[in-house]
A and B are shown apart, each in its own frame.
Chain A
Amino acid sequence: MTKKIVATASLAGCFGCHMSFLDIDERLFDLIEIVEFDKSPIDDIKTFTRQCDIGLIEGGCCNDENVHNLIEFRKHCNVLVSLGECAIMGGLPSLRNWIPLKECLDEAYLNGPTVADCNEKKIIPCDPDIPKILDKVYPCHEVVKIDYFLPGCPPRADLIWNALYALATGNKLDMPYEVFKFD
């Protein structure tokens, strides 16, 4: 069997989903029997080297770089999966969605207690090299089509393993209620 190619990324997330991914522990050895990684923080490959079978996205989109990244993933991945709360619903970063962006920026760079005295020129960072902040945090499926959603904050390691195993082997996903029951 040829190995499936997997790519992963963390956009506006905390890398917690990737940590949970590593929590599959010794099954990592089973995993590399059936998949190979392309662009991913796991192997530190920075750009796509080929068309991939599966893409896992952690985090939503809070800036334009996230958007470009996500679009690249959609182009290069046959199946794209939103991994965790932030990718699916915006998560913690989206708490700012109720507040106009200007107010957020003013608080962060001009008026906040830790910056009010030291940002004399009242500068809100802006440079071609730094990403532009979006008006609000978008869940991934509002930017590109997402094929599957794995819920959790983070999704449990078992759920990630089961899902990857199913996608890589074509088997039915084993998804007992416990792996996505949170209350």
Chain B
Amino acid sequence: MGNTVSNVIKKYNGDETRLMDILMDIQSELGYLSDWTIEQIAKALDVPKVSVEQTVSFYHFFTKEPRGKYTIYLNNGALAFFHGRDEVAQAFEEAAGCKFGSVTKDGLIGLFDTACIGMSDQEPAAIINEEVFTCLSPEKAMAIIAGMRAGKTVDEIKGAKFGDGQNSNPLIQSMVNNNIMKRGEVVFADYKPGSGIKKAVGMSSNEIIQLVKSSYVRGRGGAGFPTGMKWEVAKKAHGDVKYIFCNADEGEPGTFKDRVILTEFPYLVFEGMAVAGYAVGAKYGILYLRNEYRYLRKYLENILEQMRDENLLGTFIGGKQGFNFDIKIQFGAGAYVCGEESALIESAEGKRGEPRDRPPFPVEKGYLQKPTVVNNVETLCSVVRILINGSEWYNKLGTKESKGTKVISVSGDCAKPGIYEIEWGFTVNDILKMVEASDTQAVQVGGPSGSCIAPNEFPRELSYEDLATGGSLIIIGRKRDLLKDVVLNFTEFFRDESCGSCVPCRALSGMSKVILERIIEGRGTEKDVASFNKWHSIMRKNRCGLGQTALNPIVTTIKNFPEIYKNKIKGKDDRFCPSFDLEKAVADYDAATAEAR
């Protein structure tokens, strides 16, 4: 064991900022990170044990206990439950003979929950030893466990039926499907690898920044910051070294567009990073990829290798003097908050993914305190297209303030879930028609951190000026219990994913869950509902977007579906807290004294 630790650390030159990779490599060798292992790592890196411990404890996929030879991480997001997660989970438990959150006695199989794994259009889905299993059913669950008992490899259990497009590529061979239902002109149009870089080398870095600015392209991760402006600031920022990050940590439940883009158009993304590097004067690029998409690793690394061979990465790119750029892939380890750019940078430095105080912004002091641009996968694709087709072409697409297209991940109660690339300006109604949804109760726009809208708002259009979205639409049919199936699930999600740094987020996300459950049980009062709105304004003071939006599932439904709350609290006298249950409170005493009675 000692050898494993020292070998891995040697591989990363004892660099403590590579702690994420070090931990992941050691864990994949040893199965888990014991106290002893953590101590060895700390010694070898010459850092306090707690520095290693705090990173290990932060991420879902690091574990201090063995999680079985086969580890099943079954998504517990709302969409999984929409499509029969309960039955699948039960089948896994019965077949394996252990409950979720534990490992079988023989140490063979571990069953664990995990947050949305980016497969919302093919749920229920699970990750088993880094392989993704989609569209699970109780029968499939039983077959999977039987395969494990028979000693099959995960590849054998997975079978040979692979998904569409590049998912069947020999380097991926996954059952995941792209489900690209509508291709637009920007991201999903045909692309000849290398054409972006070819165009870039004919331009100066200033020309590129001006072009990107004149296209008015805005960040596609959700915040919508103008990309050209970000690049310009980064270019002007002082720093001997600068970095380009591509944010592929899409953890927002219901979002899976970046997975599909990276599967089908990796060149477009990587060239976008190189172009960004050229424009701002950065030589290093890092693709921060969520651990859930680790099954794409070999494929993406091979593409990077090909690009080096084709002189699209490396030195003198495209024959241009001074155009030097290379990309490495940094994996996360399961933490939604790392989608926030400064948390992502912290994580890439091997630390807990806690958002930083800003300013300074990453463009001035980012990765390793150097100027850093963080762009979303889709943003980088858009930039390459703009380079090739020009900003005038781009400006013709979309609306006045929202140029271009948006790739939307559609999931939930509709006939055609999947990926849709639409021009900005489509209304929710347009989309519902396109995806063949009927009897829709509500639409969750932009994932749990966005808003849940009612039919009277379906005529609204998707755009930065009206309904902004990072790209997810979850369609909620009338048969769903909105409070229990959706709002409670999202609230639990935020409670689990809060990094705990800001007090309002840490405390109120947990309390909200307790009170929401109370309301659902019929023990809530008007005051409980009112307190959510009060807390929401306190939450705005949190440091990052997670904390600021963690109550959105509740407050947007209070606003748009007031009747579902009213029905639950009707007739409750809040002078006598209906939440207090005397019978329950004396039950322990009754049990302790049952014999004497």
A: residues with CB less than 8 A from B are 64, 67, 71, 74, 100-102, 105, 123-126, 132-136, 138, 141-145
A144 close to B576 (CB less than 8 A):
yes
CB-defined contacts of A141 to chain B, threshold 8 Å: 577
B592 close to A101 (CB less than 8 A):
yes
Instruction: Tell me the residues in window 554-593 of chain B with beta carbons closer than 8 Å to chain A beta carbons.
Output: 574-577, 579-580, 582, 584-593
CB-defined contacts of B574 to chain A, threshold 8 Å: 145
Select which of B527, B586, B592 is within 8 A of A134 by beta carbon: B586
B592 close to A132 (CB less than 8 A):
no
Which 5 residue pairs spanning A and B have beta carbons closest together? Answer: A126-B593, A101-B588, A134-B585, A135-B588, A132-B586
B592 close to A102 (CB less than 8 A):
yes
A145 close to B577 (CB less than 8 A):
yes
CA distance A133 to B585 in the complex (A): 8
Select which of A64, A67, A74, A126 is within 8 A of B575 by beta carbon: A74
Select which of B527, B589, B593 is within 8 A of A135 by beta carbon: B589
State how many angstroms separate the Cβ of A7 from the closest Cβ of chain B: 16
CA distance A123 to B585 in the complex (A): 21
Interface size on B, residues (CB 8 A): 20
State how many angstroms separate the Cβ of A34 from the closest Cβ of chain B: 26
A67 close to B582 (CB less than 8 A):
yes
CB-defined contacts of B582 to chain A, threshold 8 Å: 64, 67
CB-defined contacts of B575 to chain A, threshold 8 Å: 74, 144-145
CA distance A92 to B527 in the complex (A): 28
Q: Assess A144 versus B596: contact at CB under 8 Å? Given A101-B589, A133-B589, A134-B585.
A: no
> What residue of chain A has the Cβ atom nearest to residue B580's Cβ?
A143
A-B contacts, 20 listed (Cβ < 8 Å): A64-B586, A74-B576, A100-B588, A101-B589, A101-B592, A102-B592, A126-B593, A132-B589, A132-B590, A134-B585, A134-B589, A135-B584, A135-B585, A135-B587, A135-B589, A138-B585, A141-B577, A144-B577, A145-B574, A145-B577
CA distance A52 to B586 in the complex (A): 30
CB-defined contacts of A101 to chain B, threshold 8 Å: 588-589, 592
Q: Is B597 an interface residue (CB 8 A)?
A: yes
> What residue of chain A has the Cβ atom nearest to residue B573's Cβ?
A145
CB-defined contacts of A71 to chain B, threshold 8 Å: 576
CB-defined contacts of A145 to chain B, threshold 8 Å: 527, 574-577
> What residue of chain A has the Cβ atom nearest to residue B527's Cβ?
A145
A142 close to B579 (CB less than 8 A):
yes
CA distance A123 to B574 in the complex (A): 39
State how many angstroms separate the Cβ of B413 from the closest Cβ of chain A: 38
State how many angstroms separate the Cβ of B531 from the closest Cβ of chain A: 12
